[in-house]
Chains A and B, each alone.
Chain A
């Protein structure tokens, strides 16, 4: 058990996540600098060129993941759209995080067993995917179709683009990142070079239903080594 590990993030998901993260942050920083006029006009113009250039990478990364890894994308959506009794029960104590992190005795001590994603992750990731899609659509419409759509629509799209991305960035930096650091095995699996695996104990602790229902033993100890070399 001590040495047993679970592949949590296949390479395709790591690539999508990490390119998405880097490009998102560059887009957020350049966007904020331009929108809040924190730089001179000439610099803002240069920032906008960066913003558009990076947006191409951001868009291709998402579209590429959805098209080339349609099976993983569908599996992710399937995992995010499973809302059973245990998912709802998670809200009774918010996964035990208030108790664990801040010592607040909120709800029952026992956490309802979760699948690949817990209820909080399901809401957050569904929102992130919605925002990625929405920002790509509104961003390119703002860039290419301003004269066709008219002023009122452009203002709506612009506000969605600006404030939607700010809210999502605050959620990513204020909640998603700290929680990922707390669940350090997930963090290491996502960011280390190579296989995105976590200890089986860790997977059993956070996602017992996932381990029970969705996993399969793929090899003995020696086999992956042989496969690697």
Chain B
């Protein structure tokens, strides 16, 4: 009988026989390390970022409290702004303020971009 391509006569021993305890620990060690290290890195990054966000939030609340003490919790309470509105005879969201301060259409200001001036 002639051997066909599909025939094979040797194969690897069962994995249980080839994989010693040492081999298993080595392979498992590498696999677990890969998962653990990448898991740790990602968790660490997310945790750090969360702490930055918490710190920033804390700072903003601190600022708010400080300004609330001097009645400056919002820009509409700013004395200079109030004076501008008063001088123009209008109020925030008023008709004149809207005409003067609100943008109705997009204005192309790309001509104002700095064009890489050379300073000698």
**Shortest CB distance B30–A (Å):** 6
Total inter-chain residue pairs, C-beta < 8 Å: 115
Chief secondary structure at chain B's binding surface: helix
Residues of B within 8 Å of A, CB-based: how many? Answer: 31
A195 adjacent to B8 (CB under 8 Å): yes
**Shortest CB distance B54–A (Å):** 14
A72 within 8 A of B: yes
Q: Which residues of B contact A6 (CB under 8 A)?
A: 8-11
A78 adjacent to B3 (CB under 8 Å): no
Minimum CB distance partner of A2 in chain B: B3
Interface-side segment among B17-25, B62-70, B79-87: B17-25
Which B23-47 residues have a C-beta within 8 angstroms of A?
23-24, 26-28, 30-31, 34, 38, 42, 45-46
Report which of B1, B16, B27, B46 forms a contact with A77, defined as CB distance below 8 A: B27
A137 within 8 A of B: yes
Residues of A within 8 Å of B, CB-based: how many? Answer: 42
- Known: A78-B18, A141-B42, A214-B13. Contact between A150 and B27, CB under 8 A? no
A11 within 8 A of B: no
Minimum CB distance partner of B42 in chain A: A141
Report which of A5, A81, A192, A194 forms a contact with B3, defined as CB distance below 8 A: A5
Interface-side segment among A53-61, A165-173, A220-228: A220-228
- Known: A141-B42, A148-B49. Contact between A224 and B9, CB under 8 A? yes
A186 within 8 A of B: no
B18 adjacent to A221 (CB under 8 Å): no
